[in-house]
Amino acid sequence: MPKPTTSLIAACIAAISINAASIARAGGEPKAGDGLIHVDPVRSADEAREVLEREGGEASRPKLMIGQKAPKLEIAKWVKGDSVTDFEKGRTYVVEFWATWCGPCVASMPHVSELQKKYADGVTFIGVNIWDREQDRNTREYVESMEDQIERVSNFVKEKGDTMAYTVAIEESGKMAEHWMMAAGQGGIPTAFIVDKAGKIAWIGHPMTLEKPLEQILKGEWDYKAAADEQLQAFESSYWRRHLMELLTNESTAERGYKVAYALLRTPLADDPNLLNSVAWTVLTSSRIPVRDLDLAMTYAKVACEKTDWKNPSVLDTLARAYYDKGDREKAIEMETKAVEFAEGTSMQDSLKETLEHYKKGD
């Protein structure tokens, strides 16, 4: 197994200051035999580091990083616009990956078209179609010929007309998905890569957010190191989210998973209230979780509340659920009441009111 990256692990304890009361146990013992578990929190920097190093065997850095030379274009068919054989020095390129079945990809197309028009003098936008060839679910073999895919995608592009006012191509047999997307640790589309005038990858992200970095890259003001660090942190975050859920959804590895969860509180991931809230809510409610550590869920929810100044109704709702499941109905009502107050005027307020009434009745 490749060695884990060290940027996240090295950040244990020192990088983030977590309120001691939040890391401490929430109190109360789970009842035996009701699907609950209690795992002792990770209490030291050394213990956290050991846990993450042990579980981080697959968290190697992406093969394709910002600042490296862009891979070549491997195209089966140029569908619209002039073909691009190589990245011309002195010109900037945006390589955007999409599929016909991808709603967010389609929604991004007018924006990409506007940017191509705005930066026509110095930037070439290329929409590369990937993951669009139908496969058998069991064998993963293609059930559609390359010729049929080309015809189908070409018709799609023709129908879009000026909505896709930039160069469009179809990748050759999954090669660009492998050498660009997967190599850079990207698992979802739409995803865009900016290739600078020197032929290096300068930025990777959602096409709806590419204009600001594109402007800085064109002006020569782009911080490549900061962008690479951000890419690596996002890659590691994705790994730990996925690995944590893999452990927690299997009864034989659940205890390991909760240890990992406590260790992650000692890293920069503890600064992400959305992640904390998501994990807490999953532990509390998901049918995929065989055993639940209510103390861990409460700790995650408390830290998420602190990170959102105790004003986020969704996070407060999660904490209320944790209190209720632990048998503290009075505290659950208090938190849910706050959630209802901060949700005033939003679509979630009615649902939170129903939950509050449920807690009050204790049914």
Average pLDDT, the chain: 88
| φ/ψ (deg, to 5) at 141 | -80, 150
Average pLDDT (37-59) is: 83
Beta partners for 26?
none
Q: Examine the pLDDT at 6 and tell me if it is beyond 80.
A: no
% of the chain at pLDDT higher than 70: 87
For residues 318 and 277, the answer to whether their CB atoms sit within 8 Å is: yes
What are the angstrom distances between the C-alpha of 203 and each of 231, 275, 340?
A: 9, 24, 40
**Over the stretch 123-179, which tens digit does the pLDDT of each residue have?**
999 999 999 987 656 666 666 788 989 999 999 999 999 999 999 999 998 999 999
Query: For 270-305, how does the pLDDT look when each residue is reduced to its tens digit (9 = 90+)?
Result: 888 998 999 999 999 999 999 999 999 999 999 999
Interval 18-22 mean pLDDT: 39
Cβ(42)–Cβ(55) under 8 Å? Answer: no
pTM for the whole thing?
A: 0.67
- With vertex at residue 327, the alpha carbon angle to CA 324 and CA 333, rounded to the nearest 5 degrees, is 40
Phi, psi of 60 (to 5 degrees): -75, 155
Q: Give the residues across from 169 on adjacent strands.
A: 78, 128
Confidence of residue 237 (pLDDT cuts 50, 70, 90): confident
Q: 176-231, pLDDT tens digit by residue? A: 999 999 999 898 999 999 999 999 999 999 999 999 999 999 999 999 999 999 89
Please state, in angstroms and rounded to a whole number, the distance separating the CA atoms of residues 172 and 74: 6
Helix (H, G, I), strand (E, B) or coil at 23: helix
Distance CA 256, CA 323 (A): 24
Domains defined along the chain, listed by start: 26-58+232-361 (1.25.40.10), 75-222 (3.40.30.10)
What is the rounded CA–CA span in Å between residue 129 and residue 176? Answer: 9
